[in-house]
Amino acid sequence: MGKFQIENLGTPHYKSPLKLSTVKGDNIFDFVSDADRLVFDLSMEYYNHCLKTGEAPLCLEKAGPRQDIFFDAQKTTAAIVTCGGLCPGINNVIRGVVMGLHYFYGVKKILGIPYGYEGLNPEKGHGFVELTPDKVKDIHQFGGTFLGSSRGSQDVSKMVDTLQANNIDILFAIGGDGTLKGVDAIGQEIQKRDAKISVVGIPKTIDNDIDLIDESFGFETAFDVASPILRDAHNEATGAFNGISMVKLMGRDSGFIAASAALAMPVVNFVLVPEMDFSLEGEKGFLKALEQRLELKRHAVIVVAEGAGQHLFQEKSGVKDASGNVKHKDIGLFLKEKIGEHFKGSSVTIKYIDPSYIIRSAPANSSDSVYCSRLAYHAVHGAMAGKTRFVSSKVNNKYVYVPITEVTQKRKKIDMEGEFWFSVLQSTGQPFSWA
């Protein structure tokens, strides 16, 4: 198998109920073929490399409806599970999957699995929820998850036992890195048993740290909701002599929300993200830069991602959450204390704002709503065609299917030498380095 080859449960034997075209140019959307592929690396350097070596370029499988499908829709049972932390757009995806299965393919039995992977462990006693178009038609208007969520893993063998015991043919898992690794492990166990169950991931992480894909759903809403908070933080800062407003935003290992919010609301003077090392003290330290800013403008707005500055703590946190992520020390309160100590005796007013959970539980904005629906529809098409262990995603602004194993090898981070971070530096005017 090639690097981006998508696994299939077998040869599709059923004709799609979708009345689409097989001929170009007849003003009807065409079925997508497995041979329809998109080049992954669009750089001229890679193009020239392939020309020189004769290598076939790395390609991704184009997402969309197939003419031949694997499952008999009338006999198919699908299930949906949502795992991990909340994120704008989860309900939109649930709704999109249910509507797509029901109206596109005629799948009538769709189960909701409550409270994440716990719902696939009968010992937890959560049971299932029957999902119908009428039940989910309005859930996109609300944040959170209609099905509930949980962190942490469950016994993979027990989860597959549950899928088989309930004759579930397709499992859609909506979640981030841990969720995707979990559903891939479920897929591996299914493969060992030679069972014909498709497992599909729909990448969800508010931090936008899923590797390879353009963007995870909910991320755009996150910095959209954060923008007016930064505006109000600026108002607080300018309302006092030597006013400092510091806003802590989500971003455990990647600072995309903090950086994007600062660009969207360009009143921010300092952005601190997990990808950067910075010192507090000294002539090139952060506190000196803050001091110079106050001397010049008499106010400052600081945005800090939750995972930034962990190197500044003498004792490293060894505590992990249920998902296995190290619980970071509170950089916001730490910086507030250090700034207060540095300016002790001076006329400085510090306001600290932490809107994290308000942001992640917000409903999706219009742009994210569109994205969620399209991800859901493409996930449905891929699953009905018998594809498995893949994510429905967007790469190079095109909808594609990517093997789960490829997007979970590492977390996506801000390139500190890239144009995006340079734009942040230009917007804030902060130094290139405080090392």
pLDDT of residue 321: 56
Provide mean pLDDT across the span 367-373: 98
Confidence band for 316, pLDDT divided at 50, 70 and 90: low
State the alpha helices, DSSP H only, in 218-363.
Answer: 219-238, 256-264, 286-297, 331-342, 356-360
In this model, does residue 267 exceed pLDDT 70? yes
Place of tokens 């002790």: 344
Distance (Å, rounded) from C-alpha 327 to C-alpha 250? 13
Confidence band for 324, pLDDT divided at 50, 70 and 90: low
CB under 8 A, 24+ apart: contacts of 285-289: 285/434, 286/434, 287/338, 287/339, 287/342, 289/430, 289/431, 289/434
Q: Dump the DSSP string for 112-144.
A: EESSGGGGG-GGG----EE--HHHHTTGGGSSS
In this model, does residue 13 exceed pLDDT 80? yes
In this model, does residue 367 exceed pLDDT 70? yes
Distance (Å, rounded) from C-alpha 150 to C-alpha 324? 13
Beta bridge partners of 172: 80, 200
In this model, does residue 197 exceed pLDDT 70? yes
Residue tagged active-site, from 207, 209, 224, 253 = 207
pLDDT of residue 153: 86
Beta bridge partners of 8: 387
Confidence band for 307, pLDDT divided at 50, 70 and 90: very high
In this model, does residue 400 exceed pLDDT 60? yes
**329 vs 100, more confident:** 100
Mean pLDDT of the chain: 94
pLDDT of residue 356: 84
Provide mean pLDDT across the span 224-247: 97
Q: Is 301 helix (H, G, I), strand (E, B) or coil?
A: strand
Of the ranges 172-176, 236-240, 276-280, which one carries the lowest mean pLDDT score?
276-280
> Is 207 considered catalytic here?
yes
Q: pLDDT (tens digit, 9 = 90+) per residue, 128-175? A: 999 999 999 999 999 999 999 998 889 999 999 999 999 999 999 999
Provide mean pLDDT across the span 348-369: 95
The pair phi, psi for residue 350, each rounded to 5°, is: -115, 125
